[in-house]
């Protein structure tokens, strides 16, 4: 599912539900199950979703509705993706440091 262009700063739960073609209760359920979704609330207690929240909901929607993951399976997949991202960032940092050391060594030999 492709998201429409997100032009607003905040979206109501009704707008988010409409984007995904699900009931607002489904959005509330996913919010209760996935700690990655943390919409703010206004003074009336109404949920206000940011584009980051909606992008996470898109990922959850893809896993659960399109790929057929269970809620627990989707949670594991999201956690695994987070760990993989951390591992890649760590590796990139180490490679950047190694490149810098090799460049300095090359310059010192010239």
Shortest CA distance to 66 belongs to which of 22, 110, 15, 4?
Answer: 22
Q: Are 53 and 31 in contact (CB under 8 A)?
A: no
What's the pTM? 0.71
Q: Strand 40-41 relative to strand 47-48: parallel, antiparallel, unpaired?
A: antiparallel
Other C-beta atoms closer than 10 Å to the C-beta of 72 total 9
For residue 59, being part of any structural domain is answered with: yes
Would you give per-residue pLDDT tens digits along the chain (110 residues)? 778 888 999 999 999 999 999 999 999 999 999 999 999 999 999 999 999 999 999 999 999 999 999 999 999 999 887 777 777 787 888 888 899 989 998 899 87
Cα separation, 15 vs 21, in Å, equals 10
What is the 8-class DSSP label of residue 106? H
| CATH code of the domain containing 80 | 1.10.1660.10
What is the 8-class DSSP label of residue 60? H
* 10-20: pLDDT as tens digits: 999 999 999 99
For residue 22, being part of any structural domain is answered with: yes
* 69-78: pLDDT as tens digits: 999 999 999 9
Number of domains in the chain: 1
For residue 60, being part of any structural domain is answered with: yes
């Amino acid at each position: 599912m492709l998201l429409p262009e997100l032009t607003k700063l905040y979206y109501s739960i009704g707008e988010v539900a409409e984007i995904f073609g699900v009931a607002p209760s489904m959005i509330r359920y996913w919010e209760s199950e996935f700690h990655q979704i943390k919409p703010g609330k206004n003074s009336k207690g109404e949920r206000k979703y940011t584009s980051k929240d909606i992008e996470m909901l898109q990922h959850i929607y893809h896993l659960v509705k399109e790929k057929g993951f269970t809620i627990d399976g989707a949670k594991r997949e999201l956690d695994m993706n987070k760990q993989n991202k951390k591992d890649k960032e760590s590796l990139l940092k180490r490679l950047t440091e190694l490149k810098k050391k090799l460049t300095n060594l090359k310059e010192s030999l010239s």
